[in-house]
């Protein structure tokens, strides 16, 4: 039963792959000018297109210098042609890469020549989608391609590379294998009356189920850390005007991102900056000072501040050190979302003379000087804790929200199975847990999910 279901899932994917018979082409390098630009072609017409554009089919996996020509024979460029025959290519199909000079006009004309020879323009992510459908990579690996491109820190790039290499998929596959064995054991017991089942079988089932639950929980914990590397934390800097929000943003960012003046109300709209704290991306939003004002532009800025607060993951409430918190500050603090991680930052200790760092005996209160940088490192540590980051060794892999949801669903079904006695009900909970894991790698995948995932890729990847 278990193996028949997996075979149907694989057959569905292979059927979808066979339907992808059109030859596609796209510029695979970033828009703009560069030393080198690449036009990629994938599909059954790739060899014929190579002949039309370059005059001959290059030897497989050998860089061949060639002239690139338009449909009317006009010379477009001179560069390198590479041919990767199926199935040993990125997409699993015949793939042609034309590497020319990186001017947008040149690349557009080379692409136009490929289209004239029978290709069509690729959709976003279509090359990687074909790689998935042709079983060159699984769905988690396909997503890690985009994560590697979008990585905002060295640690995030390394984690995405590990996912692309298949580490995350291998962990999921090992879990799926555990569940397959457990399902076979449980299903073998279904046909026997309860009194005929050896008590040792019950103990074996309980032991295997507990081991699977521990494995899922461990993988989920690692995936949550990988998700933090990918998504990071959005932090809004709030407070009354002229308390040093923009100065603190500049200090944390390490550059002059925001305009700083002694005039209250200088910041009237969002100013954003992204920083990396031990590899975790932190997205800082400097906002307009919170106060009642008759200035229409500043009033709009204050309204936008409250909208930014609603969507942020954490907040830094900036105050001036040495100034007692008054009723107005207390009212602003009371309006902040109760569940939002909040740190109070007492700025300008270079003027007040207070000691830098975390304030003794006060929860999440930090004394800093945005001007000198004193006390800022302690604040960076709080940002990591607010993001949910924990110290780790090597081995993290990139994870997305859908991966976390699938792992949590699998964990829930395994917990439910542990509370049941009837083998038929246990078998169903195990099947649902197995299916949830299959959604991660694409063994069980709806077409609309594939469309959502690959539509976010860049064209040419």
Which tokens go with 408?
């949590």
Q: 319 and 242 share a domain?
A: yes
Q: 378 and 240 share a domain?
A: yes
Q: 209 and 165 share a domain?
A: yes
Question: What per-residue string of b and e applies to 194-232 under the rule 16 or more CB within 10 Å gives b?
Answer: eeeeeeebeeebeebbeebbebbeebbebbbbbbbbbbb
How far is it, in rounded angstroms, from Cα 298 to Cα 294? 8
Average pLDDT by consecutive 10-residue portion of the chain (461 residues)? 44 45 92 91 96 95 95 95 95 96 94 96 92 90 84 80 87 90 80 62 79 91 82 83 82 65 46 81 75 54 68 83 71 76 88 82 83 89 84 70 92 91 86 91 69 72 72
- Half-sphere CA count of 300, side-chain side, radius 13 A: 5
What is the structure's pLDDT at 255?
67
What is the structure's pLDDT at 199?
66
What's the maximum distance between 2 C-alpha atoms anywhere in the chain? 84
pTM above 0.95, yes or no: no
CATH of the domain at 168: 1.20.120.430
Q: Cβ atoms within 10 A of the Cβ of 189, count? A: 19
Q: 193 and 107 share a domain?
A: no
CATH of the domain at 78: 3.30.1360.120
Three-state SS sequence of the chain: CHHHHHHHHHHHHHHHHHHCCCCEEEECCCCCCEEEEEEEEECCCHHHHHHHHHCCCCCECCCEEEEEECCCCCEEEEEEEEEECCCCCCCCCCEEEEEEEECHHHHHHHHHHHHHCCCEECCCCHHHHHHHHCCCCCHHHHHHHHHHHHCCCHHHHHHHHHHHCCHHHHHHHHHHHHHHHHHHHHHHHHCCCHHHCCHHHHHHHHHHHHHHHHHHHHHHHHHHHHHHHHHCEEEEEEECCCCCHHHHHHHHHCCCCCCCCCCCCCCCCCEEEEEEECCEEEEEEECCCCCCCCCHHHHHHHHHHHHHHHHCCEEEEEEECCCCCCHHHHHHHHHCCCCCCEEEEEECHHHHCCCCEECCCCCCEEECCCCCCCCHHHHHHHHHHHHCCCCCCCCCCCCCHHHHHHHHHHHHHHHHHHCCCCHHHHHHHHHHHHHHHHHHHCCCCCHHHHHHHHCCCCCCC
What is the structure's pLDDT at 311?
73
Pair type for strands 95-102 and 34-42: antiparallel
Q: 263 and 319 share a domain?
A: yes
Q: 84 and 111 share a domain?
A: yes
**Domain end: 81, 107, 136, which one?**
136
For residues 325 and 345, is the Cβ–Cβ distance under 8 A?
Answer: no
CATH of the domain at 354: 3.40.50.300
| Residue 392 domain-assigned (yes or no) | no
Q: 67 and 208 share a domain?
A: no
**Domain end: 80, 103, 136, which one?**
136
Q: 236 and 290 share a domain?
A: yes
| Residue 395 domain-assigned (yes or no) | no
What is the structure's pLDDT at 52?
96
- Dihedral sign, Cα of residue 5, residue 8, residue 12, residue 14: positive
For residues 286 and 249, is the Cβ–Cβ distance under 8 A?
Answer: yes
How far is it, in rounded angstroms, from Cα 136 to Cα 129? 10
**Domain end: 104, 136, 168, which one?**
136
Q: 236 and 195 share a domain?
A: no
What is the structure's pLDDT at 19?
44
> Which residue range is the domain that position 439 belongs to?
155-223+402-448
| Residue 216 domain-assigned (yes or no) | yes
Nearest to 461 by CA among 150, 147, 125, 131: 125
| Residue 355 domain-assigned (yes or no) | yes
Domain count, the chain: 3
What is the structure's pLDDT at 385?
86
Q: 167 and 209 share a domain?
A: yes
Q: 83 and 132 share a domain?
A: yes
What is the structure's pLDDT at 294?
54
Q: 250 and 341 share a domain?
A: yes
| Residue 107 domain-assigned (yes or no) | yes
| Residue 336 domain-assigned (yes or no) | yes
| Residue 287 domain-assigned (yes or no) | yes
């Amino acid at each position: 039963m278990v193996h028949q279901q997996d075979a149907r899932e694989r057959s569905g994917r292979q059927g979808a792959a066979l339907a992808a018979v059109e030859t596609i082409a796209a510029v695979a390098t970033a828009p703009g000018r560069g030393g080198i630009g690449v036009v990629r072609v994938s599909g059954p017409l790739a060899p014929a297109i190579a002949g039309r554009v370059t005059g001959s089919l290059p030897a497989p996996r050998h860089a061949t210098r060639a002239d690139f020509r338009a449909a009317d024979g006009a010379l477009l460029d001179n560069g390198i042609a590479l041919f990767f025959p199926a199935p040993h290519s990125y997409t699993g199909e015949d793939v042609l890469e034309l590497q020319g000079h990186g001017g947008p006009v040149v690349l557009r004309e080379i692409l136009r020549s490929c289209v004239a020879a029978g290709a069509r323009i690729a959709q976003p992510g279509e090359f990687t989608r074909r790689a998935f459908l042709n079983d060159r990579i699984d769905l988690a690996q396909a997503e890690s391609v985009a994560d590697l491109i979008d990585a905002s820190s060295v640690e995030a790039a390394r984690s995405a590379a590990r996912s692309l290499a298949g580490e995350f998929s291998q962990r999921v596959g090992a879990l799926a294998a555990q569940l397959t064995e457990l399902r076979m054991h449980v299903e073998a017991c279904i046909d026997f009356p309860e009194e005929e089942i050896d008590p040792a079988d019950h103990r074996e089932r309980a032991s295997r189920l507990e081991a699977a639950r521990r494995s899922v929980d461990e993988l989920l914990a690692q995936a949550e850390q990988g998700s933090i590397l990918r998504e990071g934390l959005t932090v809004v800097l709030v407070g009354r005007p002229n308390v040093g929000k923009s100065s603190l943003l500049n200090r944390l960012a390490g550059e002059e991102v925001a305009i700083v003046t002694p005039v209250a109300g200088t910041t009237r709209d969002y100013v954003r900056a992204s920083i990396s704290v031990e590899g975790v991306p932190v997205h800082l939003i400097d906002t307009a000072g919170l106060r009642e004002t008759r200035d229409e532009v500043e009033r709009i800025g204050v309204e936008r501040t409250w909208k930014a607060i609603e969507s942020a993951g954490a907040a830094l409430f900036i105050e001036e050190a040495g100034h007692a918190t008054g009723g107005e500050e207390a009212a602003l603090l009371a309006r902040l979302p109760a569940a939002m991680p909040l740190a109070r930052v007492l700025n300008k200790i270079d003027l007040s003379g207070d000691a830098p760092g975390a304030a003794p005996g006060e929860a999440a209160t930090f004394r800093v000087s945005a001007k000198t940088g004193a006390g800022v490192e302690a604040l960076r540590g709080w940002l990591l804790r607010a993001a949910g980051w924990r110290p780790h060794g090597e081995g993290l892999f990139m994870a997305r929200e859908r991966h976390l949801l699938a792992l949590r669903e699998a964990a829930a079904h395994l917990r439910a199975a542990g509370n049941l006695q009837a083998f038929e009900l246990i078998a169903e909970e195990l099947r649902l847990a197995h299916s949830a894991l299959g959604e991660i790698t694409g063994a069980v995948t709806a077409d609309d999910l594939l469309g959502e995932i690959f539509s976010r890729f860049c064209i040419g990847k």
